[in-house]
């Protein structure tokens, strides 16, 4: 590891490919994979991750907005790319010129897209979204048929497929079944997909043409208590900057929220909330050093945090600190960090700052 780095992430492309194989094995032969690489591939790096998945046989990609799709096209990816969110009219010219598939949830969006396609003298690729209980995007069932009919009749719109989004696939099978039952009361056109990582790994027996995995690709089983054989893709490490002795009764960091109950050795680490380490980990989070779990003491600051290394008398400046990954025989996952921070692994991954180098292997 370059000595100049105080913060870095390593990305295992072999683990990514293994996770793709695991997810593919969970669905019937012939089911295509629409890999969710939105938001910089969950913080793993949009272009390197999409290229690796493409080479491994992934058939399609899903991104959050048009500029991400354009970045993939610029990088040479030719597979279909679905804009998973709602797109504004200002984004339509990018979607049309880059042959990105636009999600529409309402007649208003469909009409706006049709006008943009007519102005550009081209045909827009469209997927219509059905709302079955997420209440975020998608047309309600009473409106969905009207929306799909409008798209199918309009000469400037091509209905590529239809899909819905599961709100509780990781936690509530009954709610999920109600959503799926509702979606199959309506005629769906072309591509048909609903299964995120949790639904894919739970093997819901509903017909579909595609699955839409996100977190599972990056090595996390999102189901409560799920134990799918997925491999972590990202490791996040840092280095100790300073090791010092703190006397009993002295306070540490902003707000003096930690007072030493005894004499301690405390190490300053070059990672803070500007790097994506949650502020909420102050006085409650941990990191690994030399295979030993060390608690965060005091508040996490913008560029630094402090760890109690009293149990590691050999700890010294420059030592490796592991936030996510392996140290000795111990492993820390994004799920571990999320649990301590009171959040979810999706947020842990996506908040890791772009300024931290990603090293691919």
pLDDT higher than 90, residue 361: yes
Residues 333-361, mean pLDDT to the nearest whole number: 97
For residues 151-188, b (16+ Cβ closer than 10 Å) or e, as one string?
beebebbebbbbbbbbbbbbeeeeebeebbeebeeeeb
Domain 234-360: give its CATH superfamily.
Lyase, Ornithine Decarboxylase; Chain A, domain 1 (2.40.37.10)
Query: Annotated catalytic, 206?
Result: no
Angle between helical axes of 46-55 and 66-74 (0-180°, round to 10): 60
* pLDDT for res 2: 61
| pLDDT tier, 25 (very low <50, low <70, confident <90, very high otherwise) | very high
Active-site residue identified among 38, 42, 129, 194: 38
More confident residue, 2 or 326: 326
Query: Annotated catalytic, 38?
Result: yes
Cα separation of 206 and 80, whole Å? Answer: 23
Q: CA 71, 76, 81 angle in degrees (round to 5)?
A: 60
Q: Average per-residue pLDDT in the chain?
A: 96
pLDDT in tens, 207-243: 899 999 999 999 999 998 888 999 999 999 999 999 9
Residues 248-271, mean pLDDT to the nearest whole number: 98
Q: Which of 126, 114, 138, 137 is nearest to 186 (CA)?
A: 138
* pLDDT for res 188: 75
Matching fold, domains 31-218 and 234-360: no
Q: Which of 359, 361, 333 is nearest to 348 (CA)?
A: 333
pLDDT in tens, 56-112: 999 999 999 999 999 999 999 999 999 999 999 999 999 999 999 999 999 999 999
Active-site residue identified among 42, 140, 206, 254: 254
Q: What percent of the chain has pLDDT over 90?
A: 93
Count of beta carbons in the 10 Å neighbourhood of residue 338: 18
The predicted model scores a pTM of 0.95
* pLDDT for res 3: 63
pLDDT higher than 70, residue 1: no
In total, the chain counts a number of residues equal to 361
Domain map (residue ranges) of the chain: 31-218, 234-360
Cα separation of 86 and 126, whole Å? Answer: 12
pLDDT in tens, 144-159: 999 999 999 999 999 9
Task: Give the architecture (CATH level 2) of 31-218.
Answer: Alpha-Beta Barrel (3.20)
pLDDT in tens, 186-201: 777 899 999 999 999 9
């Amino acid at each position: 590891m370059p000595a100049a780095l105080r913060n870095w992430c390593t990305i295992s492309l072999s683990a990514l490919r293994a996770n793709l194989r695991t997810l593919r094995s969970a669905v019937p032969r012939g089911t295509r994979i629409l890999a969710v690489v939105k938001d910089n591939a969950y913080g793993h790096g949009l272009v390197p991750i999409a290229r690796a998945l493409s080479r491994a046989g992934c058939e399609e990609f899903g991104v959050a907005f048009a500029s991400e799709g354009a970045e993939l096209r610029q990088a040479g990816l030719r597979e279909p790319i679905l804009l998973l969110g709602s797109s504004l009219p200002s984004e339509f010219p990018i979607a049309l010129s880059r042959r990105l598939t636009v999600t529409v949830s309402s007649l208003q969006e469909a009409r706006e897209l049709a006008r943009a396609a007519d102005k550009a003298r081209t045909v827009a690729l469209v997927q219509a979204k059905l709302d079955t209980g997420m209440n975020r995007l998608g047309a309600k069932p009473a409106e969905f048929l009207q929306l799909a009919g409008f798209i199918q009749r309009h000469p400037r719109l091509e209905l590529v497929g239809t899909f819905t989004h599961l709100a509780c696939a990781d936690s509530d099978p009954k709610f999920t079944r109600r959503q799926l039952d509702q979606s199959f009361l309506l005629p769906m056109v072309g591509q048909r997909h609903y299964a995120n990582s949790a639904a894919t790994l739970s093997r819901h027996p509903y017909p579909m043409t595609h699955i839409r995995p996100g977190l599972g690709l990056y090595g996390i089983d999102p189901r409560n208590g799920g134990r799918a054989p997925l491999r972590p893709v990202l490791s996040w490490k840092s280095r100790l900057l300073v090791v010092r002795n703190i006397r009993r009764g002295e306070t540490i960091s902003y707000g003096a929220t930690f007072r030493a109950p005894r004499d301690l050795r405390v190490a300053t680490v070059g990672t803070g909330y500007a790097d994506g380490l949650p502020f909420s980990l102050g006085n409650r989070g941990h990191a690994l050093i030399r295979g030993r779990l060390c608690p965060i003491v005091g508040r996490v600051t913008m560029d630094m945090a402090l760890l109690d290394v009293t149990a590691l008398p050999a700890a010294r400046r420059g030592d490796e600190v592991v936030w996510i990954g392996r140290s000795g025989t111990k492993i820390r996952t994004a799920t571990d960090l999320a649990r301590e921070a009171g959040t979810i692994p999706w947020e842990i991954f996506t908040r890791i700052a772009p300024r931290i180098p990603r090293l691919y292997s």
